[in-house]
Amino acid sequence: MNMLHRLFLETILWTLWFLRRVISVDGRLYVFLNAPVFQPYLAYVGRLRARVAFLKASTTCPAYVEFLKAEGYKAGGRWRLSDLPAMTKENYIKRYSIERRCYGGAIPKSGVVIDESSGSTGQPNNWVRSAAERSDVKRILQLNYQLVFRDSGKMLLNCFALGPWATGMNVSMSLVDVGIMKSIGPDKAKLINTLKLFGPKYQYLIFGYPPFIRSVVDECDLDLSPYHIDFIVGGEGLSEALRDHLLRKASTVISSYGASDLEINIGVETPTTIGLRRTLLSRPELCRELFGRDTPPMLFQYNALDYVIETNADGELLVTIGRQSGAAPKIRYNIRDSGGTYRFRELNRRLLAHGIRLTDFASRTSHFPFLFVYGRNDSSVPFYGAKVFPSDIEQVLSASPTLHDAISTFQLATTEDANLTSFLHVHLERASTSAPMPLDDAVLHAEMFEGMKRVNQDFREVSRLFDPTQVIVHVHDHDTGPFHGRDIRIKNKYIA
């Protein structure tokens, strides 16, 4: 019965897929999917695709069949996605072999690319991408490119990590057809030499991790004012202060959300999300009402036709990829990112109560749903019951012009002494071009401590329980201490 049901649903979805392919031939046609009238339809078909993905995985993927049994799942009654167990690295990826996680229990014999995660939160993992899966990602990336930049012929300089890492190779393979591609990797000297070689007669779109792009802007010995440059960043959060800093040298700075565990470009910033986020910077009470914290998260929009995104009881995102093209299923996968979603209509209704309309932020507004992300839930340090996130430190540094320009990155750590007294350590790395910081230890400590109280309500509440001296700020010269010898090809490590 399940097989017949699956075939019936697949027939419907194939017809819908064909129609979408026709629409997706040109970005000017695809933009119609952004209209409000289509959103309930996209969400419905997205849930339908998720069900077909489940039926396929529960009959043809050995690891998923065993996983359902191990998690005690019992089919019966009305099928609901929310009843399925959530996949994690611990209960699924590390428990089953790469082959058993593929449909049919084997890696496809051709057309396959194996990506590796950066390992920034631990042991790297490997992910199998089929030819059809990569074709889908390529199509989505190209459509987003057309929608944002419209013209072709830009010189695309890919400075994401290359080799086995997912983002860099996928960007190069996906966008080579829409412009002049040069895959550089995170090498500042090669990037600057490329800009010198080809000069300002080209328009440049530069891809990279935010810290790398910042280091290029800060350390470049080339006058960039004659150049037309746009930046696409990803891999970690981007503060509005850093966006403003990069906009000194660029026309646009846009962030994309994705993960090697899932796929790149699940969500993308739009003028609407950027405008709303900037508004929330000065409205902490409204930000807390909408997103649960005083400081705004990263905000993206995504297509509900391709992704069903839920939030569990711990506030973590569960992502289901409904497309049937992948080599392995990803159903309710928990990447441990803290965040949630809003339908356009729901978010707009809540903002209207405060005199704000989403359509105020851009002349052309996408009605795709919103995805908000605060970062890895497991990338935080506990201190007296409060969770201190890297995004908190980023907000504190961004709010101080002196610290923002003088500090390149940071790490957090907690320790206990012999008396079991807890200490929170904030390690700061000087930027390579910065002069000695014009702040004494007491002023620096006060700025960091008060800043953390300002941006993190939980920290503010528990600060009555400990002495301020239990927060210790360490300043390290560039590439020394915990920052010595780090691999610039992967994302920064913020938890020591």
> What was the pLDDT predicted at 41?
86
The gap from C-alpha 31 to its chain's centroid, in whole angstroms, comes to: 23
Could you read off the pLDDT of 179-217 as tens digits, one per residue?
A: 899 999 888 899 999 999 999 999 999 999 887 888 888
Short-list 252, 214, 210, CA closest to 235:
210
Question: What is the residue type of 31?
Answer: V
DSSP 8-state code for residue 306: T
DSSP SS3 for 235: coil
Residue 458 has what pLDDT? 80
Q: Residue holding tokens 């998260």?
A: 297
Question: What is the predicted pLDDT for the residue at 31?
Answer: 65
Distance CA 57, CA 329 (A): 6
10-residue averages of pLDDT along the chain (496 residues): 58 55 53 79 89 92 96 88 94 94 92 75 76 82 76 84 73 83 90 95 92 85 93 86 90 90 88 95 92 90 93 94 89 93 96 94 89 80 81 84 82 83 90 65 88 86 87 88 72 74
pLDDT of residue 151: 65
What are residue 311's phi and psi, to 5 degrees?
-130, 130
DSSP string, 460-495: HHHGGGS-GGGEEEEEE-TT-GGGTT--TTSPPP-B
pLDDT of residue 279: 95
189 and 220 in contact (C-beta within 8 Å)?
Answer: no
pLDDT for res 462: 83
For residue 316, the cross-strand partners are 338
Closest CA to 286 of 352, 341, 238: 352
pLDDT of 122 reads 55
CA distance 355 to 359: 12
Rounded to whole angstroms, the Cα distance separating 489 from 124 reads: 14
In this structure, which amino acid lies at residue 344?
F
Give domain 381-483's CATH architecture: 2-Layer Sandwich (3.30)
Q: Beta-carbon neighbour count of residue 388 at 10 Å?
A: 23
Position 340 scores a pLDDT of: 96
Listed in sequence order, the residues at least 6 apart from 153 whose beta carbon sits closer than 8 Å to its beta carbon are: 179, 180, 203
What is the per-residue pLDDT across 382-428, written as a single tens digit (0 to 9) for each? 887 777 888 888 888 888 877 887 888 889 988 888 877 889 999 99
At what angle are helices 62-70 and 39-60 packed, to 10 degrees? 90
Name the residue type at position 127. Answer: W
> Mean pLDDT in the chain?
85
CB 438 within 8 A of CB 402: yes
Query: Virtual CA dihedral for 315, 263, 216, 253, nearest 10 degrees?
Result: -70
Residue of 241, 242, 239 lying closest to 213 (CA atoms): 242
Structure tokens at 381: 């340090």
Task: Decide if 350 contacts 358 (C-beta within 8 A).
Answer: no
pLDDT value of residue 1: 47
Which pLDDT score is estimated for 250? 94
Q: Say if residue 121 is exposed, middle or buried (CB neighbours under 10 Å; 0-12, 13-18, 19+).
A: middle
Reading phi first (left if > 0) and then psi (alpha if -120 to 50, else beta), residue 421 is in beta
pLDDT of the residue at 398: 81
The reported pLDDT for the residue numbered 430 is: 86
What is d(CA 277, CA 233) in angstroms, rounded to the nearest whole number? Answer: 17
